[in-house]
A and B are shown apart, each in its own frame.
Chain A
């Protein structure tokens, strides 16, 4: 497949990354006010003809594109064109940013204060900044940061202001606008607001896309949006959304600009502000509606230590070179370019492939902290404890030395896989471990030299959010909060291990070590989990080869013409990798089980999550399920999406709701393939 060129086989060890510089350091030594009021003269796009916000709105409203759609809508609805024009104007009014340098300065000043209290450092790769500066001058720029926190876009603008770079115009969800003053202030610092869903609304789409394109084509400002569409609550990258990416690539494909530079930005937080909030959300406690007062309630947050942030500005990617040989731009020659058209198949698959490639680029440049490794190890240990019925005994958890040793081992594996790991090599390992544990003390317990997750039992001292005397279900959910919080750190490293781990699991479920069979299993798992993880469409072969390459290189596997064999010394790695995938395998299995056994005819899209959750809680309480993290609604949604994609579940749209129709035979066979049967019941798991 064509994706071959995009996802070429890389030797991870050859990856070269830039050094970081802490931008808070200077702030701690000089006046914040002077900083906020500094002379700000960013370099601009070479082809820029500067224009005011009002002029921009006129350009949009008078564009051929919009005129066309206005006439179309007017014909379809029978409304007068002037009225539709009014509507368009109102949409634009609601949407448009009103960037003001004074507001930006206000934010710069405030954020200085906030950042300094929250974070130890904000590290930015300066070379990336220089590349960006170059890119901004040459071509219109699109900034694509990863999205893990509300903080992301304020942080982005803050960094760009600090480095005297052009401030971006940012696509933000309409829910922010609900926050009265803050919404307006965000608007004045460059945010523009889009409705979360506007599926069939032609006019809205036309105004929106024309607005973004006008800014981009004229190089008025870098356009920033989140490829993942929303904040990832799990710290795993989300399947990219293509809407905005389609829009920003359009001017290039139609020849309206020579090229567009797309810059993936990876923002990694050592400790996420929304940590437990996310876990609760995933467990079904609905997300509080963004409100200004809610934001201030978060003030408690201000008193804690959130470690450091690493922001990596990736290599600008030229859309022109991405499209080279993949999209025939002549396809736009035969209709006027202002008439909106659905993207053709080749454009769609190009944009999709590009989106995956860009998310991969974000993943690869995401800095991993030692804690990420510790969280992975502690989670696995937690589950082993459950297995071996020592969850409450004195042997539970890991000895500090043991943890340190394992972490060092994992560090080396990680590095061999090409991870962007920031392990301070000049600090003694035991100190690295203890300081990491200290920063995340809410999630771990250290007693008698042993470390474990802060998952407490009825008898134990209460951890965060654990109320003694609560019912078993509530206790379970409280434990799940800790487990999911921890898992969100492990998830940061998932992309590093993903391909080898899929291979390890494939070997586990394959009936023999025959290479073809292992590949088939790998391919099955990869397909099954392609809504769960970032797996580039059509790159099965490359992923398999990459996994083989890494595991052979590190001496874990021997691969002959016919067979895939594990080596003696590879056992440890394989065990670690399979354990990493296990929660997902089990989660998908239990969902299949639910659909086969429990799901009623009346199951709808809306009731799916609560029903699954209820089923799982029962299973967990009865001890038939081991992994509390399967309670994550993210996993449940992804599994459903996968089953829908595979045709094992069908959607039927009714009058007021969408019902789910289960193909039991297929679901059942998927479940079997995922691992045959669920692990046998352990009667005496006295966890609760």
Chain B
């Protein structure tokens, strides 16, 4: 969907792979540990070579060669940045330059475990840099601390299993020696899920699944693929594309997030209206737990065999075991794709239109993204630039139907006062979802911190929740002494029959605050309270982690908590998977 750099997909791994899709077992590759951090930022989003920066002329540019945006100069960004946040290029807050190994506590090592692990031949590392890299996700407070060179409790070791059996061995050893395991996929968590519990006194081992990244087989008869869970999204798509298939699962983080991570957090992609969310896409899951391996005995498309055990695994957030292999549905690559966009006079009309489009032509329309913001278009007559909103659209399928649906959608949009705003805008909208995380790093260079968070909410609540949460954010910022008006905006990113997923974007200029992260967290906390009070869910797809744990009981009820706890108690009585997420 997203056009990548002319050079094609960047390789994350130095190892060149020869993929033989016809054999059921791929050529075993050598294990190289720790290459990821050589091309990835250790204290920010994405690739080292890709970032927003202001050049000598004070114009914003995006570096590197990976994205369509790479190498482009964006003169409007500076003005937007300065006027939105009251930020100034004169006031910089650069990150500390290199990871400071001396700041990292020496590892707590369980020697017997290390000895036994050595004998298995599974590669591992106690290198400070490797450990720090896997000690965090991408929450604001995590990145902010890293930029200041502050490091808390980090894993004591990192291991790189290369297949299911390696994981079985690691989990057995962990149980035997009572060490704590924290599964690590792509590291894109935004729920403090990867943070090591500071009170943990056992050895913490980060189980990095990145080497388990092969497609083990493709079954064209049943349109399924069996994939190792450490594979990251873009790699999975690329490999499937080579065979003419796709999964259609495209979360914003798909460049870096892993299949196992999707399963563990109940991920959702922007094309879910056509392809479904992760729970709709998986046919079979294999997970290694302290009690052994859990999996179903067949690949039937649906079963009536009591509660679906997959649903204990989906969303378990690494508290029960390591997902090692997944059988996923695949689809032939779409014959035709077309972007589009519509501009609406206001957010209310845009939401109403999305709703209408959905009820009329479910299944084909994969549009999303509403920005009550004058991001791209401001010159439509009669539209108040402060109120207008843009919907970006993507149509996929056979050419004829795409064109037919495109027309239908624009007709509906017209009923809601929407004007077609061209393919380019649509495409840019999609691209923005991938680079928006880079934008936060730019802000952090200039006293601006921010984050996005999501919820799901019934249709009749969408407008109310948007207004109230945005207003709450503004008010809380004011009350907590934020000197500049914050950016507080939202968009509808996913639609369902019964409701929608809403994203909130919140950022502010923190000059003058002594503890900006604390202020940020208080505001986000208040915003989440407001979301819940307005009928929104605790999370649509980011998960709970440790960041939103305190609301779990009221979210799922006391009995619900008890059910989850009893599963944990049975599966992992020794709390080997001790990341303390969720419960």
Complex interface: chain B residues within 8 A of A256 (CB): 464
Complex: A256 Cα to B464 Cα, angstroms: 6
Q: A255-B461, A255-B464, A256-B464 are in contact. Are A330 and B472 (CB under 8 A)?
A: no
The 8 closest A-B pairs by CB, nearest first: A329-B533, A255-B534, A333-B535, A258-B471, A255-B464, A258-B468, A256-B464, A255-B468
Judge whether A258 and B467 touch: CB under 8 Å. yes
Interface residues on A, range: 10 to 19
Judge whether B460 and A332 touch: CB under 8 Å. no
Identity of the chain B residue whose Cβ is nearest the Cβ of A251 in the assembled complex: B464
- Is B554 an interface residue, CB under 8 A from the partner? yes
Judge whether A336 and B460 touch: CB under 8 Å. yes
Judge whether A258 and B472 touch: CB under 8 Å. yes
Identity of the chain B residue whose Cβ is nearest the Cβ of A327 in the assembled complex: B533
Residue in contact with B460 in the complex, picked from A258, A329, A330, A337, CB distance below 8 Å: A337
CB of B489, distance to nearest CB on chain A (Å): 16
Identity of the chain B residue whose Cβ is nearest the Cβ of A323 in the assembled complex: B533
Identity of the chain B residue whose Cβ is nearest the Cβ of A258 in the assembled complex: B471
Complex interface: chain A residues within 8 A of B534 (CB): 255, 329
Q: Could you give 20 example pairs across A and B, Cβ below 8 Å?
A: A255-B461, A255-B464, A255-B465, A255-B468, A255-B533, A256-B464, A258-B467, A258-B468, A258-B471, A258-B472, A328-B533, A329-B533, A329-B534, A330-B532, A330-B533, A330-B535, A330-B554, A333-B535, A336-B460, A337-B460
Complex interface: chain A residues within 8 A of B535 (CB): 255, 330, 332-333
A322-351 contact mask (Cβ, 8 Å, vs B): 1 or 0: 000000111011001100000000000000
Which residues of chain A (293-337) have a CB below 8 Å from chain B?
Answer: 328-330, 332-333, 336-337
Complex interface: chain A residues within 8 A of B554 (CB): 330
CB of B399, distance to nearest CB on chain A (Å): 41
Complex: A312 Cα to B465 Cα, angstroms: 35
Complex interface: chain B residues within 8 A of A330 (CB): 532-533, 535, 554
Identity of the chain B residue whose Cβ is nearest the Cβ of A139 in the assembled complex: B471
CB of B525, distance to nearest CB on chain A (Å): 14
**Number of A-B pairs, beta carbon distance below 8 Å:** 23
Complex: A95 Cα to B406 Cα, angstroms: 47
Identity of the chain B residue whose Cβ is nearest the Cβ of A47 in the assembled complex: B467
A247-260 contact mask (Cβ, 8 Å, vs B): 1 or 0: 00000000110100
CB of B18, distance to nearest CB on chain A (Å): 53
Complex interface: chain B residues within 8 A of A336 (CB): 460
Complex: A329 Cα to B464 Cα, angstroms: 13
CB of A171, distance to nearest CB on chain B (Å): 25
Complex: A337 Cα to B534 Cα, angstroms: 11
B445-489 contact mask (Cβ, 8 Å, vs A): 1 or 0: 000000000000000110011011001100000000000000000
Complex interface: chain A residues within 8 A of B465 (CB): 255
Interface centre among B461, B467, B471, B533, by most chain A C-beta atoms within 10 angstroms, is B533
Complex: A336 Cα to B498 Cα, angstroms: 12
CB of A264, distance to nearest CB on chain B (Å): 23
Which residues of chain B (361-416) have a CB below 8 Å from chain A?
Answer: none
Complex interface: chain A residues within 8 A of B472 (CB): 258
CB of A260, distance to nearest CB on chain B (Å): 12
Complex: A333 Cα to B461 Cα, angstroms: 9
Complex interface: chain B residues within 8 A of A328 (CB): 533
Interface centre among A255, A256, A329, by most chain B C-beta atoms within 10 angstroms, is A255
- What 8 new A-B contacts, CB under 8 Å, besides A258-B467, A258-B471? A255-B464, A255-B534, A255-B535, A329-B533, A329-B534, A330-B535, A333-B535, A337-B460
Complex interface: chain B residues within 8 A of A258 (CB): 467-468, 471-472
Complex: A329 Cα to B535 Cα, angstroms: 9
Complex: A336 Cα to B458 Cα, angstroms: 10
CB of A350, distance to nearest CB on chain B (Å): 14
CB of A337, distance to nearest CB on chain B (Å): 7
Which residues of chain A (228-269) have a CB below 8 Å from chain B?
Answer: 255-256, 258
Complex: A337 Cα to B457 Cα, angstroms: 13
Complex: A255 Cα to B468 Cα, angstroms: 7
A463-480 contact mask (Cβ, 8 Å, vs B): 1 or 0: 000000000000000000
Complex interface: chain B residues within 8 A of A329 (CB): 533-534
Complex interface: chain B residues within 8 A of A255 (CB): 461, 464-465, 468, 533-535
CB of B558, distance to nearest CB on chain A (Å): 15
Complex: A330 Cα to B556 Cα, angstroms: 13
Which residues of chain B (520-535) have a CB below 8 Å from chain A?
Answer: 532-535
Complex interface: chain B residues within 8 A of A333 (CB): 535
CB of B469, distance to nearest CB on chain A (Å): 9
